[in-house]
């Protein structure tokens, strides 16, 4: 598929988001990539071109549009669209590991990624050492002779920690391992991880990249070599993205910078406002000076993100009541959509942990995670204020 000249990664982020991966402008050609709902494509042999086109191989025109846009946004050589964020993470790890190999991973990971590393991959002979990423020495100390992947995630879910990438990068380099980063919460608008030495930038595109809570997808960005390896795994495990979902994702990504700009601003304003609301014990947002990583986030990120977490006085009961009183914000897991979503980790991502374990992770009962959408700030404040009042009235 040919693309417009702006897909080379040198354009500004907003320009790349709009134009990268779109069809070559020719008289009569479509301006946007139409959905190409064909599983296979005419190909009689190498004389018809080097690549056999087949939608499970990730080379359907809609999958390629997403791949080109992702690469342009992340500033990497190549990109790949997959069926989900978990497909992106698992195919990336499997492409770099085999029986007897080892992974070093942050202990602050999305729950399913943690389960993949701690429960599933050991069955295939791949083991993981989890480290506390705030300790810069921990990465190097956890390396083993056969460490092949170092994995980080930022900002983390749901405590929104922003860790330094550099110690993980140094450890990965000294082991000759792949540095992979799940940057779902940050998006390439707030940080381009490849510029910090990340080899495999992974996203659940279900979230901000898609942006409208209407698709499940994942992406990986990196070198041609990396993407060839991940594509190889994707072909075998069958995790390619359906062309219809790829089309929807590519459309969502066109507005990513515009949406992120507003997510960043509304979330920051809401976080500041929450600090004044009665009944809210803590507000967690990297843009607040009270956040443990505020200084680092300010240095590394061009926006603090659209996620805000709060802790209510009154624990789980108060949080349940708070969420049930919301009329605008929608109680639902997931994040990154145009609508504000709220969820309690004790019911969702961290349901398998005991109260003590959640406390140790900084997620006490009463913790509510908010994915701030694109609504008017004043309407969101009114909704949250009414819910907080209902909790206070309970005493
Ligand atoms: C940080 C992070 N990574 C990965 C995933 C998995 O993505 P998906 O549901 O698209 O497989 C999620 C989903 O919530 C997530 O929050």
- Give pTM, 2 decimals: 0.95
CA–CA distance, 245 with 96 (Å, rounded to integer): 27
CATH class assigned to 11-254: alpha beta
CA–CA distance, 108 with 135 (Å, rounded to integer): 13
Quickly name the fold that domain 257-394 has. 3.90.1150
Q: Is 376 a catalytic residue?
A: no
Q: Is 69 a catalytic residue?
A: no
The answer to whether 369 touches 344, Cβ cutoff 8 Å, is yes
Query: Edge to edge, what strands does the sheet with 78-82 contain?
Result: 78-82, 218-222, 200-204, 178-182, 147-153, 102-106, 127-131
Q: Convert the pLDDT of each residue in 193-237 to its tens digit.
A: 999 999 999 999 999 999 999 999 999 999 999 999 999 999 999
**Is residue 2's pLDDT more than 50?**
no
CATH 3.90.1150.10 spans which residues of the chain? Answer: 257-394
Q: Is 208 a catalytic residue?
A: no
Q: Convert the pLDDT of each residue in 341-390 to its tens digit.
A: 999 999 998 888 889 989 988 999 999 999 999 999 999 999 999 999 99
Q: How far is the CA of 177 from the centre of ligand 1 (A)?
A: 23
Q: Which atom of ligand 1 is nearest to the CA of 157?
A: 1
Helix axes 85-96, 224-237, angle to 10 degrees: 110
Which SS3 state, helix, strand or coil, does residue 64 take? helix
Ligand 1 binding pocket includes 151 (Cβ within 6 Å): no
Residue of 207, 259, 346, 369 marked catalytic: 207
User: Rg of the Cα trace of the chain?
Assistant: 21
| Residue closest by Cα to atom 10 of ligand 1 | 85
Ligand 1 binding pocket includes 92 (Cβ within 6 Å): no
């Amino acid at each position: 598929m040919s693309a417009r000249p702006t897909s080379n990664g040198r354009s500004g982020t907003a320009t790349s988001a709009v134009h990268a991966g779109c069809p070559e402008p020719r008289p009569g050609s479509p301006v946007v990539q139409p959905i190409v709902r064909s599983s296979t494509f005419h190909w009689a042999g190498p004389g018809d071109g080097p690549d056999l086109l087949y939608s499970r191989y990730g080379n359907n025109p809609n999958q390629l549009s997403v791949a080109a846009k992702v690469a342009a946004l992340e500033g990497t050589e190549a990109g790949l669209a997959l069926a989900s964020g978990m497909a992106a993470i698992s195919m990336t790890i499997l492409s770099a590991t085999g029986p007897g190999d080892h992974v070093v991973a942050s202990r602050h990971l999305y729950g399913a990624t943690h389960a993949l590393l701690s429960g599933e991959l050991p069955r295939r002979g791949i083991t993981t050492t989890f480290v506390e990423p705030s300790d810069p020495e921990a990465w190097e100390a956890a390396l083993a002779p056969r460490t092949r992947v170092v994995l980080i995630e930022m900002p983390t879910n749901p405590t929104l920690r922003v860790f330094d990438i550099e110690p993980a990068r140094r450890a990965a380099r000294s082991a000759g391992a792949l540095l992979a980063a799940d940057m779902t919460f940050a998006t390439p608008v707030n940080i381009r991880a490849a510029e910090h030495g990340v080899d495999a930038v992974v996203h659940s595109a279900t979230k901000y990249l898609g942006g409208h809570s209407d698709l499940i997808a994942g992406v990986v960005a990196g070198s041609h070599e990396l993407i060839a390896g991940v594509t190889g795994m994707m072909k075998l495990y069958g995790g390619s993205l359906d062309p219809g979902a790829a089309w929807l994702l590519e459309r969502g990504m066109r507005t990513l910078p515009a949406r992120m700009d507003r997510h960043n601003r509304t979330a920051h304003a809401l976080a500041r406002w929450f600090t004044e609301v009665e009944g809210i014990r803590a507000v967690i947002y990297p843009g607040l000076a009270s956040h443990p990583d505020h200084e680092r986030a300010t240095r590394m990120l061009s926006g603090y993100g659209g996620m805000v977490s709060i802790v209510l006085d009154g624990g789980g009961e108060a949080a349940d009541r708070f969420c049930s009183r919301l009329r605008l914000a929608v109680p639902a897991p997931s994040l990154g959509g145009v609508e504000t979503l709220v969820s309690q980790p004790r019911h969702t991502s961290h349901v398998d942990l005991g109260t003590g374990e959640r406390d140790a992770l900084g997620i006490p009962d009463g913790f509510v995670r908010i994915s701030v959408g694109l609504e008017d700030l004043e309407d969101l404040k009114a909704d949250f204020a009414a819910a907080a009042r209902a909790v206070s009235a309970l005493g």
